[in-house]
Amino acid sequence: MSLVLDPAAQDLLFREARTANTFTDEPVTDEQVQAIYDLVKYGPTAFNQSPLRITLVRSAEARERLVQHMAEGNQAKTATAPLVAILSADNEFHEELPELFPHFPQAKDAFFAERPSRESAAGLNAALQAAYFIIGVRAAGLAAGPMTGLDFAGVQKEFLDDDHTPLMVVNIGKPGEDAWFPRSPRLAFDQVVTTV
């Protein structure tokens, strides 16, 4: 095979992994979430930016507030998942660049002095980190249910501030009964890859 990664790991992370729609009531611990983050924080981003912010929704009161902002088809899933994470982009990520990109600390001001530049970079790089996070959830033996069917402005107002832009909500846990919809098709290699 052309891939070094063990076939079982390939299945766990990609081929057999699916978006879960139901979950068991087995809790997801803070230790599991920390292990996930400590793995995926090494995923590449531009200038080693780390704009992703993760808000764990654990309390019943916070869960009720979040469910109100989810699309109708996502409300029951969010209400019953063992853990829910709001993933957002920190538009003030540049303040950390002198620490995260020490060989060129001037990047903070040279490239990200203006808010529109920061928002664009934060959105792209936090989305990359969000994808790594979903793969990390799978690597922990858990299922992820990422969703963008939500009232973004409502979630921002309820849980974040003006410097944080919500990207998605991810339900996390062990898959429950009838957790999977049928696998949707994917494009073939020749439909996607062009050699020039």
pTM, full prediction:
0.95
pLDDT(9) > 90 = yes
pLDDT of 4 reads 95
pLDDT band (50, 70, 90) for residue 173: very high
List the structure tokens of 63.
């869960």
Does residue 1 surpass a pLDDT of 80? no
Whether 195 maps to a domain, the answer reads no
Alpha-carbon distances of 169 from 69, 87, 92, 132, rounded to whole Å: 11, 6, 21, 14
Classify residue 93: in a domain, yes or no: yes
Decide: residue 75, CB within 10 A, 0-12 exposed, 13-18 middle, 19+ buried.
middle
In which domain, by residue range, is 166 found? 23-176
Is 142 a member of any domain? yes
Tens-place pLDDT, residues 117-144: 999 999 999 999 999 999 999 999 999 9
Return the pLDDT at 105.
86
Would residue 190 count as lying in a domain? no
Is residue 45 situated within a structural domain? yes
- On whether residue 123 sits in a domain, the answer given is yes
User: Would residue 6 count as lying in a domain?
Assistant: no
pLDDT at 66: 98
CATH number, domain with residue 153: 3.40.109.10
Convert the pLDDT of each residue in 78-100 to its tens digit: 999 999 999 999 999 999 999 99
Q: How many residues does the chain have?
A: 196
